[in-house]
Structure 1
């Protein structure tokens, strides 16, 4: 998941540099969504609600 976050952040940065505001916004929104999802999964794992086996 971290790989996808970094890829989307790179796409957002490059798109913003070339002036593609909408593409940059979409990539950044996707990255933010994945960060939130990763934090929720980490929190659930830390509390022992479920494990990844």
Structure 2
């Protein structure tokens, strides 16, 4: 059981780290920490407007 949990956690880590890497790498290329924060705010406000319709 422990081995299967370990394998599952490892696969989950690989999948999530890939998504996290892509999500953070692009904004950091565009403008560092401030770019990442402003991108996050833009995505949040956009999704909020779309859901508010």
Query: Which structure's residues are more often helix, by fraction?
Result: 2
Q: Which has the higher contact order (CA 8 A, sep 6+)?
A: 1
Q: Which has the larger radius of gyration?
A: 2
